[in-house]
Amino acid sequence: MSNQDVTADEGYRRFEEFLDEWSRRDFLRGMGAATAFTVFAAGGMELLAACGGGGGGGGQSSSGTPKKGGHVTEGWAFDIKTFNSMLSQDVYSNLCIGLCLDSLLTTKANGDLTSALASEVPKPSSDGLTYTFKLNKNMKWSDGTPLTSDDVLFTYNLIFAPEYQVVASPRRGDFTQHVATIKAPDPETFVVTTKEPFAPFLAQHAQYGILPKHVLGSLQPAAINTADFNSAPSVGSGPFKFVRWDKGAQVVFDRNPNYYRGSVLLDRFVYKVVPSTIAVGNQLKTGEIDVGQIDPSQVSSLQTETGFGITSFVVPNFQFVMMQLNPDKPAAQILGDKAVRQALVYALNREGMVKTANFGQGEVAKSVEPPTSWAANPNTKPAYSYDPSKANQMLDQAGWQKGSDGIRAKGGRKMQFTVQFAVGSPVLQSVAAIMQENWKAVGVGLTTKTIQFAQLVTLITDTRDFDMILVGFNFTQDPDQAQLFSSAGTRPGGFNGFDFKNDQVDKLLSQAATTVDQNKRKQLYSQYQDIMADQVPAPILYFLKNNYGVSKRVQGYGLGTFDQYGTRPWMKDVWVTDGK
């Protein structure tokens, strides 16, 4: 039993409290009381992995005279997994990595790239192939060791050099596909030459936390995967330095006195792991945390709180269903049929998911590209409305007939699946319940199963033994989606754990990535989006809107569409009015 399980009496007591937050009338009307309690008692999940730095606006203005000292505690319902930037596969790890390991570049809230370890954002050479990063002078690690281009070269060799192929990075496939050479000609210069013009390069690959060669460089390649540094980084280069990770409870950071950009105002930052996304809102109210992403169910009720403000913005994040397509897996014997996948999407009430499960904090996906992207096409074909009749018709035509138990079958195989997702958020638990109900109505059986977030990531990138996974993904400001949907992403450690392989998609993603002209790129991405709409290998349910609560004692918290995760360039100037 997990720590999310509750007894009936205690569960109903907590359920009554929960309904106060979730709007009793709307929630019960949408789901029914029995289903609602099941959703609550079982737990849920938030959103998965990111493939890079963070995309629009948001943020909190600063007022008053900045003070030095004090701390900020940010609450999340999910623990991190690693401090190794080249192994990281989730946004929560990226957030903590970004606090103690700076990258060459970082991203502003509006998606603009800006300098970090590099003194400026490099422009490609005249042939569009070479990027020359000039590092800031006299940078040091938190232990006083000089930080040079040798550290940068070492870091990128982990996803490039043949001798480091055993390093389980989700980034190697895309990086080696496009990059020809990397070198460090002098201590303050790092040069990357691509095989052809590669438009997403800076957004996709210049925002990884640089790792210390003097700590990790002597390890054998395989040892990088299990290095002590991955869970307790002994040195750093970011605004804060690591103090300790109490797994399942908190990650603690103190000010880095050697930070190359100058003195940080805060003494301490704490990433606190709380029991659920509902607990984030509750602890904002009690003052146990200063900052936290608010569960959609609580946004309305927390608007009147006086101790903190709420900042809201659209994000390039979506919730989607990975469908197993590896022909060696049992579920793929059913899901390998495109008509079946399309029928399953027609059977889903995604508008209901946004309104009921996500309390209106999002929008139904019309494409695989997020609405924050300049390449998004809202008119992709086919378009999927909620149409159970069409779903039934398509499944009938595909030869799947309903049996006496109401479940479809074909050739002795029943159409039933297990969908897995991580504990921690009632939102995805309710989404799974809607999926279960919608698919049951067209003769498809669905069992739901929750697991810990770290296990879910491993399931996607390593073991890959699943029928379906309900999860989220966060994109950079560039529309390239190769790390998730290209064949290269199916390699061990990659994000394409559902084994989607399509030659047309690979070709279009490659062509778009190697085309510099934005209008031409947009045309290629439009074709790509139509193919993805036709194939639906991992149906996008909806795109998200994020809401953060920020205590009024905290000033300068610059959260926005593209800078929530990874290196936060504004953290250096965050301060607290009470100095505590």
pLDDT at 38: 29
Q: If DSSP codes are grouped into helix, strand and coil, which group holds residue 26?
A: helix
- Would you say 294 and 281 are in contact if contact means Cβ atoms under 8 Å apart? yes
DSSP 486-509: SGGGGSTT-S-TT----HHHHHHH
pLDDT at 63: 67
- Would you say 562 and 108 are in contact if contact means Cβ atoms under 8 Å apart? yes
pLDDT at 157: 98
Structure token digits, residue 550: 């920020």
Strand (E) positions, 303-432?
308-323, 362-364, 401-402, 408-410, 413-414, 416-422
Domain ranges of the chain: 1-40, 41-47+314-544
DSSP annotation of 492: T
Give 128's contacts (C-beta < 8 A, 6+ positions apart). 196, 197, 516
Structure token digits, residue 298: 């609580």
pLDDT at 545: 87
Q: If DSSP codes are grouped into helix, strand and coil, which group holds residue 175?
A: helix
Q: How far apart are CA 536 and CA 326, in angstroms?
A: 15
What angle (nearest 5°) sits at the alpha carbon of residue 227, between those of residues 222 and 233? 145
Helix 277-286, helix 426-441: angle, nearest 10: 150
pLDDT at 62: 60
DSSP annotation of 228: G
| Residues pairing with 408 in the sheet | 402
Q: How far is CA 49 from CA 80, 94, 222, in A?
A: 11, 9, 23
Q: How far apart are CA 326 and CA 500, in angstroms?
A: 8
pLDDT at 193: 98
- Options 3.20.20.70, 3.40.50.300, 3.10.105.10, 3.90.1150.10; CATH for 41-47+314-544 is 3.10.105.10
Q: How far apart are CA 574 and CA 132, in angstroms?
A: 31
Structure token digits, residue 572: 């250096």
- Sign of the Cα torsion 442, 443, 448, 454 reads negative
- Would you say 52 and 566 are in contact if contact means Cβ atoms under 8 Å apart? yes
pLDDT at 105: 96
Give 159's contacts (C-beta < 8 A, 6+ positions apart). 86, 167, 169, 171, 172, 175, 176
Q: How far apart are CA 538 and CA 552, in angstroms?
A: 40
Q: How far is CA 397 from the centre of its chain?
A: 37
pLDDT at 111: 85
Element housing 528 (H / E) = helix 518-535
Maximum CA pair distance of the chain? 75
Q: How far apart are CA 531 and CA 382, in angstroms?
A: 9
Up-side HSE of residue 268: CA atoms within 13 Å toward CB? Answer: 14
pLDDT at 544: 87
pLDDT at 51: 36
- Would you say 554 and 574 are in contact if contact means Cβ atoms under 8 Å apart? yes
- Would you say 272 and 96 are in contact if contact means Cβ atoms under 8 Å apart? no
DSSP annotation of 381: S
Under-50 pLDDT residues of the chain: 1-59
Q: How far apart are CA 124 and CA 562, in angstroms?
A: 23
CB-based burial label for 407 (10 Å; 0-12, 13-18, 19+): middle
Total residue length of the chain = 580
Indicate yes or no: pTM above 0.85: no
pLDDT at 255: 97
Neighbours of 404 (CB within 10 A): 5
- Would you say 384 and 347 are in contact if contact means Cβ atoms under 8 Å apart? no
pLDDT at 349: 98
C-alpha Rg value of the chain to the nearest Å: 24
Long-range contacts of 398-405 (CB under 8 A, 24+ apart): 398/337, 398/339, 398/340, 398/343, 400/340, 400/443, 402/443
- Sign of the Cα torsion 33, 35, 38, 40 reads negative
Whether residue 382 is preceded by a cis peptide bond, meaning omega within 30 degrees of 0, is yes
| Residues pairing with 421 in the sheet | 450
